[in-house]
A and B are shown apart, each in its own frame.
Chain A
Amino acid sequence: MDFKLTEEQEMIKKSAREFAETVIAPKVAAMEETDEMPEEILKGLGEYGFLGLTIPTEYGGNGLGHVARMIVLEEIGRVSAAVAMTLQVLALGIEPIVQFGTEEQKNKYLPGLAKGELFSTVAVTEASGGSDPTAAQTRAHKEGDEWVINGRKVFITNAHLADVATVFARTADEPKPSFSCFLLEKGMEGFRPGRKEHKVGFKGCDTGDLIMENCRVPESQMLGKEGDGLKIALKAISEVGRPGMTGCALGILAASLEAAVKFANERILYGKPISKLQAIQFKIANMYTDLEAARLLAWRAAALKDRGERCDVEMAMAKVFSSEAAVRAANAAVEIHGGYGCMMEYPTQRYLRDASLLAPSAGTSDIMRIVIARAALG
């Protein structure tokens, strides 16, 4: 058992840190202001190869895998959770095509997705409740050789950015409800992004509706087989969407700890830095321990995925632990900063706002505990 990053992983970390600090950091203030994702960042994600981590080399990716992805997401999330979130859902959009796409679908989309010429997402959630995807009201029915899709998805990351979306729809009610996934492209007739959400955090990361109004697609746009929809969506969400949220959480944890340490060493009270006060030290000790524990859960789950082993429970544990730890850490960082922690000039308020978005995305903490309890109870 060796918990050290390999030389190659260290290099991946360094590359991502450099990208985050030189390309992303100067844009964070503008993203907070405008809630827009700058072009240069999207372009850079492609140029550095961060979009190709989970795409095999035969389809234009670099296939460095899921541990590499976790390292990259932490480094990017440390500077901007909004960019990490955008990037994480781009990989979520890629996964169903990698896992279930036909040779033709893979060749059509993956090389462009790896380079950043195309962007993607997965659209499952509807107003009827994200925790219960089987309540989805979006329907697809067959007319001749075509599928006709109608419905509305909500809270979809990259809704306006995505060139191709894996859309989850009901394709039968009897004998029991059954679902299928379709690859819908930006610009297809009857398919368009709708409302754009105003979130408390992840400023710059696009979240919104996707609307299907008599959107007609040929059979070749179906992903996997008819009736495989639930399996396709849940596999991508549990094996890529949840670790993606974990990566964002690690970034917020690391950033909160760094900010807290810096402030505690600089803030002088009673003639000495507040880092000499035990109450402050204990908060920092907890943040540090949470970060290390979250990393170990995250890396182990990602390593299982890289080896092609079952990892849904480990992914759920890492997700619920890291997202709750990130809220604790961001909150502690705000507290350690005193009044300054609530001022917009300090990044700690952003960490706390961003951390609050971790739990609902890709399955709530309650849903994670259901997955974990099921495994524990057998």
Chain B
Amino acid sequence: MGPFKIVVCVKAVPDPKKGSPSFDPVTKTVRRAAQDLVMNLLDRHAVEEALRIRGGFGGKVTVVSMGPPEAMPVLKESLALGVDRAVLLSDRAFAGADTLATSKTLALGIRKLGQFDLVLAGSESSDGATGQVGPQLAEILGIPFVPKAVKIELYNGAKPGPSSIDHTECGEGVFAMVTGEVECGLREYRVRLPALFTVSRKINEPKGVTMMGILGSRGKEVEVLGAADIGASPGEVGAKGSPTLIRAVEGPPPGRQGEIISGDPDEAVRALVEKLRAKGVLV
């Protein structure tokens, strides 16, 4: 077995701190090039987690992103955070991708990089926010998937684990104990690797880029791969490979209305309960 290989999917998104992104009214896509792109916040958590795992388990961390050339600083930033390798999948043919075409492109890129043991992604992006890329990518790569991880622990072979589970039945190879968020709590999974996990923001506290990290990334180049490099056929990527058509992008309707019920507290409470009943909130 070679070194343990972790791939992290990172999306370059418009800076959410600089207000809502602008949309191209014709293509209905975010005008990415027009704004400063930053690393999707949850992906920073994913990178942090990969670096943490590497710290304890050894191995190599590669960041993969599909995006325009303007995403380059985001990949450089990942190198300054300490990842070993950064790959930008960039080609005009990738433009206009929906989540399916994005996942296919990422899968082709990741396979092109060779053997891998673990893929991490954010549970959703701050712009598209569909949360579909993680599960779709796992499906295409044919590996197990756990959403919204808040804790990841790796074990090599039959090592005693943190819980009452008998790990001996796992036999040889690396597996992970993953705690993921579900609707009403947490769920613990035991997963054989390779696998893909998306991360929740609760998984860690990402550290910032340090001066030492910037110095350490000097001379490390971002590799750029196009459609031909990853063996993508024109029909399966970009707008052509996207079954989803966005008809319109609209902001949420304004006009939430507050109402103040004044007067005697007992009567006000009664009036409130009446209103909630009328709306069907209370039965």
| B34 CB within 8 Å of chain A | no
CA of A62 to CA of B215, assembled, Å: 7
| B117 CB within 8 Å of chain A | no
> Interface segment, A9-17, A198-206, A230-238, A267-275?
A9-17
CB contacts (< 8 Å) of B208 on chain A: these are: 15, 18-19, 22, 48
| A109 CB within 8 Å of chain B | no
Shortest distance in angstroms between A110's beta carbon and chain B's nearest beta carbon?
15
Tell whether, in the assembled complex, residue B212 and residue A7 are in contact, meaning their CB atoms are under 8 Å apart.
Answer: no
Tell whether, in the assembled complex, residue B76 and residue A63 are in contact, meaning their CB atoms are under 8 Å apart.
Answer: no
Residue of B nearest to A48 (CB): B210
| B46 CB within 8 Å of chain A | no
With known contacts A10-B73, A48-B210, A64–B80 Cβ distance under 8 A: no
Shortest distance in angstroms between B201's beta carbon and chain A's nearest beta carbon?
15
Tell whether, in the assembled complex, residue B73 and residue A64 are in contact, meaning their CB atoms are under 8 Å apart.
Answer: no
Tell whether, in the assembled complex, residue A11 and residue B215 are in contact, meaning their CB atoms are under 8 Å apart.
Answer: no
| B236 CB within 8 Å of chain A | no
CB contacts (< 8 Å) of B211 on chain A: these are: 12, 15, 48-50, 52-53, 62, 64, 68
| B271 CB within 8 Å of chain A | no
Shortest distance in angstroms between A9's beta carbon and chain B's nearest beta carbon?
9
CA of A22 to CA of B80, assembled, Å: 19
| B247 CB within 8 Å of chain A | no
Residue of A nearest to B77 (CB): A11
| B218 CB within 8 Å of chain A | yes
Report the number of A-B residue pairs with Cβ-Cβ less than 8 Å: 48
- From residue 80 to 139 of chain A, which have CB atoms closer than 8 A to chain B? none
Question: How many B residues are at the interface, by size bracket?
Answer: 10 to 19
CB contacts (< 8 Å) of B214 on chain A: these are: 8, 11-12, 15, 49, 62, 64
With known contacts A15-B208, A19-B208, A7–B215 Cβ distance under 8 A: no
**Interface centre among A7, A19, A49, A57, by most B CB within 10 Å?**
A49
Residue of A nearest to B17 (CB): A21
Tell whether, in the assembled complex, residue B209 and residue A63 are in contact, meaning their CB atoms are under 8 Å apart.
Answer: no
CB contacts (< 8 Å) of B215 on chain A: these are: 49, 57, 62-64
Residue of B nearest to A21 (CB): B17
CA of A62 to CA of B73, assembled, Å: 21
Judged by DSSP, the binding face of A is helix
CB contacts (< 8 Å) of A64 on chain B: these are: 211, 214-215
Residue of A nearest to B38 (CB): A14
The digit string for A30-54, where 1 denotes a CB below 8 A from any CB of B, is 0000000000000000011110110
- From residue 177 to 219 of chain B, which have CB atoms closer than 8 A to chain A? 208-215, 218
Tell whether, in the assembled complex, residue A7 and residue B76 are in contact, meaning their CB atoms are under 8 Å apart.
Answer: yes
CA of A49 to CA of B217, assembled, Å: 14
CB contacts (< 8 Å) of A14 on chain B: these are: 77, 209
Shortest distance in angstroms between A25's beta carbon and chain B's nearest beta carbon?
13
CA of A15 to CA of B214, assembled, Å: 10
User: Contact partner of A47 among B80, B210, B218, CB < 8 A?
Assistant: B210
CA of A217 to CA of B175, assembled, Å: 60
Shortest distance in angstroms between B82's beta carbon and chain A's nearest beta carbon?
13
CB contacts (< 8 Å) of B80 on chain A: these are: 11
CA of A171 to CA of B212, assembled, Å: 40
CB contacts (< 8 Å) of B213 on chain A: these are: 49
Residue of B nearest to A64 (CB): B211
User: Contact partner of B210 among A10, A15, A22, A57, CB < 8 A?
Assistant: A15
- From residue 67 to 82 of chain B, which have CB atoms closer than 8 A to chain A? 73, 76-77, 80
CA of A68 to CA of B215, assembled, Å: 12
CA of A258 to CA of B4, assembled, Å: 48
CB contacts (< 8 Å) of B77 on chain A: these are: 11, 14
CB contacts (< 8 Å) of A8 on chain B: these are: 214, 218
Tell whether, in the assembled complex, residue A7 and residue B73 are in contact, meaning their CB atoms are under 8 Å apart.
Answer: yes
The digit string for A332-374, where 1 denotes a CB below 8 A from any CB of B, is 0000000000000000000000000000000000000000000
CA of A365 to CA of B73, assembled, Å: 40
CB contacts (< 8 Å) of B73 on chain A: these are: 7, 10-11
Q: Which 6 A-B pairs have the closest CB atoms?
A: A49-B211, A15-B209, A62-B211, A62-B215, A49-B210, A49-B212
Q: Interface on B for A, CB 8 Å cutoff?
A: 73, 76-77, 80, 208-215, 218
Q: Interface on A for B, CB 8 Å cutoff?
A: 7-8, 10-12, 14-15, 18-19, 22, 47-50, 52-53, 57, 62-64, 68
Further pairs besides A49-B212, A62-B211, A62-B212: 14, Cβ < 8 Å: A10-B73, A11-B77, A11-B214, A15-B214, A18-B208, A18-B209, A47-B210, A49-B214, A49-B215, A53-B211, A57-B215, A62-B214, A63-B215, A68-B211
